[in-house]
Chain A
Amino acid sequence: MPSKTKSKSKKKSSNVERLETAGVLVSEQFTDDDKKTVEKLSETEVTALIKLRKKRGSAPEGKHHLRPNIFV
């Protein structure tokens, strides 16, 4: 017989929270619309972004980045 003790379900983190914790984004730099966009990411997409972050680090903010001009 299943226990009647109700375990409190842990509140699921939002995508923004998870990605910020993983260092993928800085939420202060995101508008509300941006955040809504991020919340629509699927679980697979969020996981892929977190894995990428772990592998490669992050780019410095506020810098004019040089594009690699990789082409097909």
Chain B
Amino acid sequence: MNSLNHSKRLRAKIRLAEPYLLDVSDQFWTHPQLAEMFPEFLFMMHSIIRSSVSLINAAAVSAQRRADLDPVSQKIVSYYTTHALEEAHHDDWLLEDIVAMGADRSDVLARLPSPTIASLVGAQYYWALHVHPVSLFGYLAVLEGNPSSVKHLSKIRTKHGLPAEGMRTMVKHARLDPYHRDEIYAQLDELPLTENLSELVALSAFHTIEHIAQALQEILDAHRNEEVIEEATAQAV
């Protein structure tokens, strides 16, 4: 694998791990009652992206602290600083979408996110602050590495009757993320990564895959449980 550049190595590792995410993702996006679960999906997404700017900035500060002695940190400070600016207010966009679908803003903000999301994001803080801030590349590569196309989103919206106002942020990201993906991988190839750091980035990516899959599975499970309760109630009446 040493003959491959860092981005190709990371993509190869992600390909080995991502069937687990693709499996549950397929179940979610092809579910006949997708429209009923879609608000939960948006809430899950908001739980993640409300942390993005803080998380990337924390990694930037951690990199800045190490920059004098560490060439990798030196190279990622400006990337993280710029990327945090690029991600600013995306959580506000998504909150607007959720509100446009009928939710109350204060209820969304007051609701507790799943511990799975806390584990997803929390691990990134741990690695960035206590191990090495380059770890965040694994997280970003998974989250921004496979953007949907606008056409694909449009098909899903039409098929399931999803409201357009609930998908505005998703459509914006379908347009933005191909550039972000290319930036991540181009930046990764510029870094003088050691084997140890390369492994850290991969573990961060695997952890992200595992927890995103788990979060999607929780939405599917909750929906299934609701259906079971409804059936039981209907039979009891």
Contacts and interface: CB of A to CB of B under 8 A. Distances in A.
B140 interface: yes
Given A69-B173, A71-B90, A52 B140 contact: no
Nearest to A40: B1
A49 B142 CA distance: 15
Given A66-B29, A71-B147, 16 more contacts: A36-B1, A37-B4, A38-B16, A40-B9, A41-B13, A44-B199, A48-B203, A55-B210, A57-B20, A59-B20, A59-B26, A66-B25, A66-B156, A70-B143, A71-B177, A72-B140
Nearest to A65: B22
Interface of A: 19, 24-25, 34, 36-42, 44-45, 48-49, 52-53, 55-60, 63, 65-72
Contact of B26 (A38, A53, A55, A63): A63
B213 interface: yes
A59 B146 contact: no
Interface in B18-35: 19-26, 28-30
Given A37-B12, A45-B13, A48-B203, A69 B153 contact: yes
Contact of A68 (B20, B29, B90, B203): B29
Nearest to B176: A71
Do most interface residues of chain B lie in helix, strand or loop, or is the interface mixed?
helix
Contacts of A52: 17, 20, 206, 209-210
Given A40-B1, A44-B199, A56-B20, A72 B49 contact: yes
Q: Name, among A63, A66, A67, A68, the residue most crowded by chain B CB atoms within 10 Å (CB to CB).
A: A68
Nearest to B9: A37
Interface in B93-122: none
A68 B19 contact: no
A48 B208 CA distance: 12
B48 A72 contact: yes
Given A49-B206, A71-B147, A56 B24 contact: yes
A57 B214 CA distance: 12
Contact of A71 (B25, B29, B45, B216): B45
B88 to A, nearest CB: 11
